[in-house]
Structure 1
């Protein structure tokens, strides 16, 4: 009993640290430019982050043998049930309530029932998601742990495959100096001059609009003062039929249309100017020592991208799924092929710990960076709460599926508890599904980046 209490204190202590880190990231980094006063949204995001990190922590504890095995199994189940309830019930139900509140045809008394109805629609489609995929045996009941895990796994693995495929292609495209087009200073100065000329035209036309409005206002005041009430009405009708005021309003309307067109043009020109400046900065940065280091990293990622695409294609064609983890495979090559005398049991534990640690750190860092970029791209002061909840949902499914896929990266003796907790799933399906999504995402990203690069080059030459 004392050992269980100590293990629980350790788990809840680390979860508190994860919660604090998620809260700091939430407040200081991700949403510092947006005012989000909803305390429940902030807590929900941080709780989801803490529960997600705890699953990775339990894998590391399993490898290092920290905590009693029964305590680890209990906290595995507790953490998994909590994150499933959060992802399937709490977050979707709160998002449904937010949607019901903004619907103009829904009264406040009916918003609760509308929220429940929207949530039931989500549950229906979430449940039907498992029908097309061979993820479960029929012997599993409706309320078994395999039912929600299998469906969360499909969504999460799809997200991981899309992000991994795009990242594998975008990383070399971003880091390698080969893809950075050279920018002349004259090109930047010409773009700046055209932008300033357009802004001057906008200011000039807005001054003309303001003067025309002021002239019409003064003319109306003079007519009002010089005419009696009856004559005033007759003068207005005469001006309307004679076209005096209509010509002025038509002139103002034409100027306003021109200003709107010029403002749209200026926004596009400003984006092009900023892109030129950033490209010029990238060219200068690529010639520094750190820039050359990133260029080497970009070449490495390009080799990895080609290798990963080839391996995924082979796995899909031959329906192949690796059954031996990379650590055991590497150690067996050292022992059987190269003749090294290696303590396989000792080194498999330590190398697995290092490998899992690297995967955990890169996964958390990569997802947080992606969430930050995505939030800045689409967030506004009115939609911030809903977007934060959606990001928390994506984050939770991403990390649950990462644990599901990570099972193949640890030796056989460390997979047992993961298999016990996650249930009797078809783990091979998720690896095949990841290969398919990764291949589609990588090839699509190559096409889109190629088109964007060609358009950028043609815009420069044109």
Structure 2
């Protein structure tokens, strides 16, 4: 009997050792993936955001890559939860660790470095005042960040002040707002960009006329600036001559004529500056018009290809989706409705109940949820990176590029934390528990209602804006 018991203990020990070894190997793979995510963020920073700029602050690149890696890790942990990879205790530990790290980056590291970067660019701020002013700016940020949650019912009353739920709830409000605004604009802008019905016909003759106007304006600016340089040179020469004459005590009789000539030159310079300013503004307007016309013509030519026709069909699909989403958001807001069952399980239950299919609801909901979460994760990351790239090139310059990247990293981190918070509704109940346990006792229904409200506002404002822009765009037919 003792021998049998020893054999059982030995077998159990071997099995536990094997499981521990397997879990350790999976943890090593998990950490390797985090390194891969960091390198992907680093590569995106160098090849997309800063391909036209020189990197002056390496810390900006490190913070952006860390934020990207931690954001992707949260999606990875959701997939691990569905597939049952790693032990539950290990997954919970990595959830907590990842969440604490990304909150530290979003609430402490990024705001402090943004404040430091802004203050170092101010010329009259002395070096000894950098640290006190940076910490003061961070405290101001913390105050307004904390006040963000006051108007919203985001927490249960039992939570204390210094809890992780307090931070997550406020990050969630900001992130859900950004996500809803981007989603609402994207749902409206995608059909507008890809559907041929919204494309204006543009003639090559009209583009040539606009280019001639632009070239004529540029020639006028060059001629006036050349005249301005000559007058400034003449003014400087007359001032030098006047100084030499006054020192020598000669030609005092000509003082009045020299002074009159100097005033005349100044008046001419002032007049030229007044004339050049509106011409430069006109040249910028004409340049943007030429670029817009060329883009419209390229879109028309692209729409005639097979790929363009495919995107035209996708545009119709997005139009239907946009109308359906606006309708559903309106219903949810009016009737205060929040889904209780995830869409995958609900769809399978309908197929089993009303269509007579014999399916294992639990089995298929797990695998389809895995695919759905994977698609949502990939499309969210891809869509946000594309949006960040466009926004960066729209507003950045060689001086402001580092600061803008830090702000985009802040938005990216909050966006992905909110994505995990909202993605909880797309998962079956057995997989929601870990997210609920990690994120804390938040008012999840509020975030879904808030998303619906902001999505509806963003979509309606985008429709109005694009309608006005489309209405004011002149039709230019090819003669």
TM tier, smaller: over 0.9
Task: Flag the 1:315–1:217 CA change in 2: closer, same or farther, 3 A.
Answer: closer
1:47-446 mapped onto 2 (5 Å cutoff): 47-104=66-123, 106-213=125-232, 229-240=248-259, 243-446=260-463
Q: Which ranges of structure 2 fall in alignment gaps of 5 or more residues?
A: 1-19
Counterpart-to-counterpart distance in 2, 1:48 and 1:223: 63
Deviations 1:319-346 (A, max 9, x none): 0000111110110111000001112222
Task: Flag the 1:239–1:11 CA change in 2: closer, same or farther, 3 A.
Answer: same
Task: Flag the 1:14–1:220 CA change in 2: closer, same or farther, 3 A.
Answer: closer
Say whether the 8 Å CA contact 1:52–1:83 is kept in structure 2: yes
When structure 1 is superposed on structure 2, of 45-54 and 110-119 the one drifting more is 110-119
When structure 1 is superposed on structure 2, of 151-160 and 184-193 the one drifting more is 184-193
Deviations 1:362-388 (A, max 9, x none): 100010011111111111222222211
When structure 1 is superposed on structure 2, of 172-181 and 375-384 the one drifting more is 375-384
Counterpart-to-counterpart distance in 2, 1:301 and 1:261: 42
Q: Which ranges of structure 1 fall in alignment gaps of 5 or more residues?
A: none
Counterpart-to-counterpart distance in 1, 2:235 and 2:81: 81
Aligned partner of 2:46 in structure 1 is 27
The alignment of Structure 1 onto Structure 2 pairs a total of residues equal to 458
When structure 1 is superposed on structure 2, of 301-310 and 27-36 the one drifting more is 27-36
Counterpart-to-counterpart distance in 2, 1:362 and 1:404: 16
Say whether the 8 Å CA contact 2:92–2:438 is kept in structure 1: yes
SS where residue 139 of structure 1 aligns?
A: coil
RMSD of aligned Cα (Å) = 2.1
Counterpart-to-counterpart distance in 1, 2:176 and 2:247: 79
State whether structure 2 residue 50 is matched by structure 1 residue 5: no
Deviations 1:223-282 (A, max 9, x none): 899998212454233322xx3333333233323322232222112111111111111111
Say whether the 8 Å CA contact 1:188–1:273 is kept in structure 2: yes
Say whether the 8 Å CA contact 1:19–1:46 is kept in structure 2: yes
Counterpart-to-counterpart distance in 2, 1:133 and 1:330: 32
Say whether the 8 Å CA contact 2:203–2:476 is kept in structure 1: no
Counterpart-to-counterpart distance in 2, 1:126 and 1:214: 55
Counterpart-to-counterpart distance in 1, 2:174 and 2:252: 69
SS where residue 33 of structure 1 aligns?
A: coil
1:100 to partner: Cα distance: 3.0
1:211 to partner: Cα distance: 4.4
TM-score (norm 1): 0.94
Say whether the 8 Å CA contact 2:175–2:416 is kept in structure 1: yes
Aligned partner of 1:451 in structure 2 is 468
SS where residue 159 of structure 2 aligns?
A: coil
SS where residue 110 of structure 1 aligns?
A: helix
Counterpart-to-counterpart distance in 1, 2:233 and 2:447: 69
SS where residue 213 of structure 2 aligns?
A: helix
When structure 1 is superposed on structure 2, of 380-389 and 252-261 the one drifting more is 252-261
Counterpart-to-counterpart distance in 2, 1:281 and 1:289: 15
TM-score (norm 2): 0.91
Task: Flag the 1:235–1:189 CA change in 2: closer, same or farther, 3 A.
Answer: same
Counterpart-to-counterpart distance in 2, 1:111 and 1:218: 45
